[in-house]
Amino acid sequence: MTAASELLTVTEAMARLKIGRTKVYDLIRTRHLPSLKVGGCRRIPDYAVRDFIRSQMELEEAA
């Protein structure tokens, strides 16, 4: 796996999570989905999307 494939664009994160752009930015803003800026571009680590999905699954199982 290369470093480039470990950082997702907002559009790629949208596709993986099957949610809209506004919701991705809301998750970033509320720190539920970690991200970083590379130059002027927002990038989301691949592991952050996996961790977010895992945490949501744990919440569902606990409910």
Answer whether CATH 1.10.10 is correct for domain 3-62.
yes
Q: What is the pLDDT of residue 26?
A: 98
CA distances from 41 to 11, 22, 46, 51, 62 (A): 12, 16, 16, 22, 36
Instruction: Please list the pLDDT of the chain residue by residue as tens digits (63 residues).
Output: 555 569 999 999 999 999 999 999 999 999 999 999 999 999 999 999 999 999 999 998 998
Spell 14-32 as b/e; 16+ CB within 10 A means b: bebbeeeeeebbebbeeee
Q: What is the pTM of this model?
A: 0.85
